[in-house]
Amino acid sequence: DSGVTQTPKHLITATGQRVTLRCSPRSGDLSVYWYQQSLDQGLQFLIQYYNGEERAKGNILERFSAQQFPDLHSELNLSSLELGDSALYFCASSGKRGGSDTQYFGPGTRLTVL
């Protein structure tokens, strides 16, 4: 158990819909990262927050957004969903800003868009 929790575990929705994925980092970790894992693209970094502020951005679509709240939990919002958004979405957390350190991954949310 990494100490990172993600909800929900599974999400099935239709194209055009909007969903919110939630992540609670390990106790004391200030950084939260979001990754998308799909069969064709592999594991892709989406976005990082550190102590409530956006720190780094990766291959995140404009239809996707995230935020980190004062209690350090984070939410990833996916809107106008397309079939290709079906994937595993992982959240990870770490303690340091500069982050040459270990990231601890949650169990993931499996999103299926029908």
Partner 1 sequence: SQQGEEDPQALSIQEGENATMNCSYKTSINNLQWYRQNSGRGLVHLILIRSNEREKHSGRLRVTLDTSKKSSSLLITASRAADTASYFCATNSGYSTLTFGKGTMLLVSP
Q: Using CB under 8 A as the criterion, which residues of the chain lie in contact with partner 1 when the complex forms?
A: 2, 4, 31, 33, 35, 42-45, 48, 55-56, 58, 88, 90, 92, 94, 96-108, 110
SS3 71: coil
Instruction: Kindly tell me which of 44 and 67 has the beta carbon lying closer to partner 1.
Output: 44
Q: Name the H helices within 1-114.
A: none
* Nearest-approach distance from CB 56 to partner 1, in angstroms: 5
Task: Tell me if 10 sits within 8 A of 110, measured CB to CB.
Answer: yes
What is the radius of gyration, based on Cα positions, of the chain?
13
Instruction: Kindly tell me which of 34 and 113 has the beta carbon lying closer to partner 1.
Output: 34
